[in-house]
Structures are given as C-alpha cells and as structure tokens.
A and B are shown apart, each in its own frame.
Chain A
Amino acid sequence: MERYDLAIIGAGPAGLAAACAAYENGARKIVVIERDREAGGILNQCIHNGFGLHHFKEELTGPEYAQRFIRMVKETDINLLLDTMVLKVTQDKKLHIMNPQDGYKIVSAETVILAMGCRERTRGAIGIPGTRPAGVFTAGAAQRYVNIEGYMVGKRVVILGSGDIGLIMARRMTLEGAKVLACIELMPYSNGLSRNIVQCLDDYGIPLFLSHTITEIKGKNRVEGVCVQKVDKLGKPIPGTEINFDCDTVLLSVGLIPENELTRETGIEIDHRTRGPVVFENMETSVPGIFACGNVAHVHDLVDYVTAEGFRAGAAAARFCQNQIPAYDSKRVTTFKCGDNVSYAFPQHIRPEGINKYAELFFRVKRPVINAVIELKSGNEVLCSYKRNHMAPGEMEKIIIPKEALETADGLLTISVAGE
C-alpha cells in the first residue's frame, strides 16, 4: 500500500494552498487528489478578475490565481493525482481512490486534509413551482458551459438569487450577448458582495428586485417565461404583485452547501450551522490528524481567505506528521456560541496551546446592520467588543481575540452583534 505523510482531497484553492504550506513546513510525501481533469477547482471557470487583492495585492482572474498555486505545487515533488475520485476515507486514514489509470486502490496517509469545496443549491432544494422545462441551470453549471465548454445556455435570462456567482453570471451572459432581464432576490438585501452588485448589475442596467421571488416557471420543453412576485416579511408571495418575464433561461444562485458526504461517512462531527466539519483553531476536525479547509468547512466569499485557511491546515498537518503537536489540555478548549444576529462562528473551538498571542474568529451576521457593535461575552461579562460601520450576511467578518481573553473565559464564549 502506498503511504503518504499527507493526502489532500481536492486541488482547488484550499487544497493547493494546503499542499504548498505543508511542503514548506516539512511534510514530504504529499498527494493531492482531484476528481476533475485539471487542478484549480471552481477557479478555472471564474474567468473574471478580482481574485487575490488580499493575498497577492493584485487583481487576478480565477485561472491566473489558481495557476500561481499549481506552479508552486509543480515545483515540488508533491504528487498531483488528477481525474481521481476519493470514494471513502476511514478514521485510520486509509483512502479508497479510483481513476482510469490505476483503477481502484487504497492508499494510507498519516494526515488527511479535506478540501472538497461546496456545491450549489438546486431548484429541487427550494421547490420553485411550475413546469420543469430545460433552461433552468444553477449559475455555476451555466458558468461551466459558457466559460469552459464555450456554449451559450440561453438568450433571455432571469437570475434567481443575488449570490456572487449569480451576479457574476449576470455580467458574463450580458457580455456574451444575452439579455439579462432581472435579478430576483427573496431577501430584502443581497447576499452578494457590494462590489459585485455595482460592477455586475448596476453597470449594465440590470434591475435587482429585492423581496421578490419566482413563483412560477413556465414552458413545456424549454423555459418560456417566469412569474415573479413580491414577498411579505415571512417570504410568502403577495397576490396582485405578479410581474411576468418573457425569458428562455433561469439561472439559480440560491446558496452553496459544503460538500461533506465523505466527511459524514468518515464519522467526523458536523456543525449544522456551517454544514461543515467542526474544527479547532488549526483546522483539525474531531478526528485527530484529519483537517478541513476552504468551502468544505464553511462557505467563503473571497478566495484569499480560502488560501489563508489552506495554509493554516497545511502547516498544521505538517506539524502533525512530524509529531510537533502541543500537548492540548482538553479542559482549556474555548467553544463559541452564536448569540444575537450571528449565524455561525468559525472555528468552532480554539485551544490556547494552538495559538500565539491572538486568535482569529470568522463569522457571519444573520441580518444586515449599520453602526454595529460586536461583543464577545463570557456569561454576562463582555471580554472584547469591536465596531463596524456596516455588516451583511454576504460578507464574512473577522475579529481578532487576544489570547488572554480566551484564557479568562470558562470555556464558552458568546458572540453577538447589535446595531441598527
């Protein structure tokens, strides 16, 4: 059986960054396993620019951003295994893998990093009424057809959901010659980045209908139109507000779901809020030696943060392989609880032995707020507070927590956000 120090599942931005960091930190026998024919993950179809502003301090396209990491990996002797599916991971870190060249085999690894990314929510998940014709695509599937395969998926488009991929596709379809009639958002605010609203909708005169949803898809064989209605505070359509669009295509950008079927089968603890594995400060999951990073752990809006998380997981896995793990005191673990207006906090646990002076905590708000005050409390005692002008669910937030604050806590900290 082939043995590796580290096996990384997924060669998207998270997996590639993890591989680089693990190599730099002394892990040697590394394999990165990718199910697609090329490394780079979803970045390969993200041909727009705007990637890398934080990490490289310049604006790159998705493929360019991926290529930098692919090059770094190729300069090492990291084994990049493409067109290969991981079918199973056991708790003792045996990976059942399969590809056309080697068939079915089992490899063993000292550590594993899960970096499988996420998938898109579909029509079936949200139950849009109407007929079921061709021409309803998830935004990502349409993006693959247009940007990689070179085919157009329609001429008159309505986009449901204002997630980033939907916004980017509104612009892409327009640039490719289609007419994007509207972007429809159920919530009273967009879940996409503000810059994408401006650059992908406003700049092209595409209307954004907030608090609206598609209440009927029409058409027998191909989409022939949609009915859109305003919704009340509970998200229920309001009669009399119907607007009909004559379109042949509906693109869905209605949320991303971390892809954790493999994780679940391995028996790793899952957080129902992030829908990803519960991790510690070094990205280690509930199974020692198995780490997770990127969108498989929680959905990110910027690839730069995915890269940073990949680095953290890679470095931690390398230390694990070299037996450089601190002696953790299970009594000193801090767990985060979501208080008012916080949908999730990440990582779920922090061990003081795993950090230097500060810990980073990522989270999202449930509703947009302005003049926000973020509080970190132990019981009723406020340990730290932070201010932000504006916060929205579509933008992941980060706070820095001093180590002392963690050490004064009794193991449970509540993060909450107040504001207008």
Chain B
Amino acid sequence: MYDVVIIGCGVIGASAAYELSKYKLSIAVLEKENDVACGATRANSAIIHAGFDPKPGTKMARLNVLGSRMMGELCEKLSVEYSQIGSLVLAFTEKEMECVRELYERGGKNQVPGLRILTRDEVLQIEPNVNVEVIGALHAPTAAIINPWGLCLALAQNAKINGVDIHLNSEVVRISNKGGHYHVETTSGAYDTRYIVNAAGVYSDKVSDMVAEPFFRITAVKGEYYILDKSQGDIVNYVLFQTPSSVGKGVLIAPTVHGNLIVGPTSEPTADPEDTSVSYRGLEEVVKKSMRLCARISFKESIRNFAGVRAMGGDDFILEASAPNFINAAAIKSPGLSSAPAIALEICDLLKENGLDLIEKDSHTLYKKKPLFKNMRPDEQKKVLELDRRYGRVICRCETITEGDIIEAIKAPVPPVSIDGVKRRCEAGSGRCQGGFCAPRVHEILSREMGRAMESICQGKAGSYILTGKTKTPGGGAV
C-alpha cells in the first residue's frame, strides 16, 4: 500500500514526487510512457515567466510568481540549466503600448519584481536586432530560460534516490475506490494507495473521470516551433514576446540554455491529445509572426521543428480534490512550468488538508548530475579523464558529448531506454546533424551498457523501433 500515487511524470508529477519525497511516506509515480518528461514537459517554450500575464487573484498569478522566485535556487541545487535573462514584451502600435501598460499594472498587482516600461531607444540599446519599428516594451528582469525536461529528470532522479518508486510503461486503465483506499490498475500491474495526485496532463480529465463525476474537461492545444542552429543563438538577448491576445501569448523568440534559438508556438486545438505533428501552415505562421519581432533570423539554419500539446481547461489551474483523497493538478497550461515548484507545495498542502500526515524525514539525499565533460573546468576534465578514459572519446561531434557523458547518463537512477532518452539527458544528437553521425554510436553504447539487442532499442517511445533485423537474414529486410 502506497501513501501517495502520482499519476503522470511530467514536470508537475515529478515536482510533486520530489517535494513529497522529503516526508516519511511511501510514494509511487505511474507514467504511461517509457521515460519521464514525454508530454508537454519536453515540448514547450522552455521559459520561466515572470508572472505579469495571469489575471490577478488567480492561482496562476500567485503560483507563477512564487514558482519563478523558487526556480533559480532549485535549478542551482539540482544542476539544471537555467538562466535569468529577462523578457521583453514588444509593442509596435499605440494600442499594443496600451497593452504593455496594462501588463505592467497587472504585474504590479501580482507582485512581479523589477518591471519597467522601456522606451524605443532603451529597447534598441539592449536588444539591437529587434524590428526597428518597436515603440516600447515591458521589461521583466526575473523571466528566465530553462531546460524543462532536464528539470523534470532531475526532480525524478532525486525522488527516486529518496525512495519514490517510478513505474514506467504504466498507463492507468482503471481506478476503484475500495473504501478507505484506491486500487489503481495499470498496464504494468496494480497498486493500492491511500491518496492519488492526478498530474496526467492532457489525460487528467479522463483520469479524474475514473473516480469522480466529470467536472472539468481538457482541450489539447498544439503549438509548433522551430529550433535553430547555434549560429542564430545570440541574435536576441532576451525572451521576446508579442503583446498577448485572447489565444495566448503568441509567437515568441528566445535563446535556449543550450545556445540555440527557439521560435514559436502556434496555438491550435487538436482532437488527438498526442498529435504533435507539424504543418506547413503552422511553420509558416511561426516564421511570419516572428518576423514582426525580429527579421534577422535565418530560418535556413533550422535544425528541428516540433510541436507540443498544452492541456487547457478553464481560465485557471485546477488544483483541488474531485473525490476523497484524490487531488487534481490539472489544466496546467502556461505558465505551468514556471509554477511547477509552487504547484508542488500546493499539492502538499492539499494532501495535508485531506488528512495526510507530512512528517519530515531526518535526511534527504541530493542527487546532482555530473556536469558534461565539455562544461567541466580543465582541471576537472583532466581528473575525470584519468579515472575514466571513455571521457576522451567524443561520440556526438556537434555538441562534443563523450562516451563518458553518455555512460554517466545511462547509470543514473532513472536511466534512458531510447536514443531520444539519451539525448534528453546529455545532449547527444541534439545538434545540427541531429544524430546523423552519432545515433548509430549511441545506439551501440545503449545496447552494450543495457545488455540488450540492438534491434530492441527504440528511437523514443515504445514502438518506435529503429532496426527491422540483421541484414542477410530472413525477415531482416525481406518483404
């Protein structure tokens, strides 16, 4: 019997697991995919919003500002890439300037620190590549960029070494209320638990429906993005936003923590919550709308397009019980990532309110990822090379990722099982050649270290097989 079962291991589920792992509780996280961070957490703008956008008085406003304040320290502690570069909401018309002033007011009410309205000259001075027709901007110095899947992974790794069970490939299919506890059936086995935290993202309504009368619905909204080569990474210094409209914050431009440039997203409801396809129309829209902010981006330097699906539902986050001892953390759309650490605290409070005793453990172990070889100081590099020669073998040439880095990722508490899993943990294959050269090498290392046949290693999710068999054997390639 678990005390708490968390459904979904995106950044919300992982944040809750990490926070709850500080208490004397037995906890499990159930994740339907073969890795953590497979939903909205791995496909979003990778931004920590300052918090001037949500309507004052909402949970979103309060948790965004608190989350944003907690994030820097958390990332420092867990070695997650994070950089507080600040954001600018650019205005090009007097009407948009009015919106900037409104956001400034709202930000004040939300207690966002350091907001300033900049004049055209001030904007052009700190951000010389923006469209010169800019007339002013809102500067939010606390906005930041982050590695979102890196955060989720670090939280999950830390939860794991502090006793949380992470059950992957475990899609919840049925939950029954056994009067006093829940019986959760998954595709990998059944678990009994006293409390449930529903952090199932785009599926959170379906999960809630398993135990309660339907009381919220999730709409999946797709956003398409471009990732550009590092040659474009320093075109802008800040996160650049348009003035927001009714459909969201619009297309933004931002450097990424890895030195690339991210441009997007579009915003389009999709019937299939896992539809992460990109379209001509969507990509064109991203290019067109970004041009208004900054026309100097060379989209020829694109290295990847992707789409993420956001879980929308109502005007605010849903953080409440829909059945006894069943807490929803649902409709966590933007600024969900920014709010994640604060949402985790809120979940703890809700569990407490529902009668769960939170008694702090005497000690909590910190798991800190070893820095990548390329990010080590020369003396650290020398030391690590003496201990393990595999750090001297560069596998991913675009990102200078060594065999030692890849093995370190594979040996972590929550190990990767796929080529994409390795990429998310140590950047191998995330560069301009997109794994063209290194994927077969990473594949070989994964197969060797995991003791699994090459043919059984997937690109990403279960079923995304890469190889059909050996050559010169029946069935290998023969039709």
Contacts and interface: CB of A to CB of B under 8 A. Distances in A.
Interface in A79-134: 83, 85, 87, 98-104, 119-120, 122-125, 127, 129-134
24 contacts: A85-B397, A102-B392, A120-B436, A124-B227, A125-B302, A129-B283, A134-B464, A140-B436, A141-B437, A145-B440, A150-B470, A150-B471, A151-B467, A151-B469, A151-B471, A152-B469, A152-B477, A153-B466, A155-B479, A177-B476, A221-B458, A221-B460, A221-B461, A221-B464
Nearest to B454: A151
B393 interface: yes
Given A100-B392, A138-B436, A151-B470, A124 B454 contact: no
Nearest to B461: A221
B463 interface: yes
A394 B227 CA distance: 30
Contacts of A150: 470-472
Contacts of A2: none
Given A152-B469, A176-B477, A35 B464 contact: no
A134 B479 contact: no
Given A35-B397, A152-B469, A177-B478, A131 B276 contact: yes
A123 B393 contact: no
Looking at chain A's contact residues, the main secondary structure is: mixed
A222 interface: yes
B400 A87 contact: yes
A388 interface: no
Interface in A239-265: 248, 261
Contacts of B390: 100
Interface in B397-439: 397-398, 400, 403, 432-437, 439
B386 A179 contact: no
A103 B400 contact: no
B70 interface: no
A144 interface: yes
Interface stretch (B76-84, B174-182, B303-311): B303-311
Contacts of A124: 227, 302-305, 434
B316 interface: no
A130 B468 contact: no
Interface string B338-382: 000000000000000000000000000000000000000010011
Interface string B84-107: 000000000000000000000000
B462 interface: yes
Nearest to B468: A152
Contacts of A179: 479
Nearest to B224: A129
A302 interface: no
Contact of A149 (B276, B397, B454, B468): B454
Contacts of B381: 104
Contacts of B466: 134-135, 153
Given A124-B303, A132-B276, A178 B463 contact: no
Interface string A198-219: 0000000000000000011000
Nearest to A215: B280
Interface string A144-173: 111001111111100000000000000001
Interface string B438-455: 011000100000000011
Nearest to B437: A119
Nearest to A146: B471
B291 interface: no
A104 B382 contact: yes
Nearest to A149: B440
Contacts of A83: 393
A176 B471 CA distance: 7
Interface in B147-205: none
A255 to B, nearest CB: 11
A300 to B, nearest CB: 19
Contacts of A153: 466-468
A390 interface: no
A220 interface: yes
Contact-residue bracket for chain A? 35 or more
A220 B274 contact: yes
Contacts of A127: 226, 278, 283, 302, 305
Contacts of B403: 100
Interface in B271-308: 274-280, 283, 300, 302-306
Nearest to A138: B436
A83 B390 CA distance: 11
Contact of B459 (A134, A146, A176): A134
B118 interface: no
B394 interface: yes
A99 B401 CA distance: 13
A259 to B, nearest CB: 8
A104 B477 contact: no
A146 B436 CA distance: 14
Which of A99, A119, A144 gathers the greatest number of chain B CB atoms within 10 Å?
A: A119
A244 B331 CA distance: 37
B467 A145 contact: yes
Given A155-B479, A221-B463, A222-B464, A100 B469 contact: no
B319 interface: no
A156 B436 contact: no
Given A104-B392, A134-B458, A173 B477 contact: yes
Nearest to A141: B436
Nearest to B419: A134
A87 B476 CA distance: 38
A125 B232 CA distance: 14
B465 A103 contact: no
Contacts of B463: 220-222
Given A122-B303, A123-B434, A154 B468 contact: yes
Nearest to B431: A261
Interface string A286-306: 000000000000000000000
Contacts of A99: 392-393
Contacts of A145: 440, 467
Interface in A271-287: none
A177 to B, nearest CB: 4
Contact of B465 (A85, A173, A220, A222): A222
A100 B393 contact: yes
Given A133-B464, A176-B471, A156 B479 contact: yes
Given A122-B303, A141-B440, A152-B476, A130 B277 contact: yes
A104 B394 contact: no
Given A140-B436, A152-B467, A261-B398, 15 more contacts: A85-B393, A101-B389, A119-B433, A119-B436, A122-B434, A124-B305, A129-B283, A141-B439, A151-B468, A151-B469, A153-B467, A154-B468, A176-B477, A215-B280, A221-B462
Contacts of B132: none
Contacts of A248: 468
A141 B443 CA distance: 12
Which of B279, B382, B392 gathers the greatest number of chain A CB atoms within 10 Å?
A: B392
A99 B454 CA distance: 25
B211 interface: no
Given A122-B436, A124-B303, A129 B470 contact: no
Contacts of B472: 150, 176
B208 to A, nearest CB: 25
Q: Which 7 A-B pairs have the closest CB atoms?
A: A152-B477, A134-B459, A221-B463, A177-B478, A124-B304, A134-B464, A85-B394
A84 to B, nearest CB: 9
Contacts of A104: 378, 381-382, 385, 392
B394 A35 contact: yes
Contacts of B471: 146, 150-152, 176
Which of A102, A146, A152, A179 gathers the greatest number of chain B CB atoms within 10 Å?
A: A152
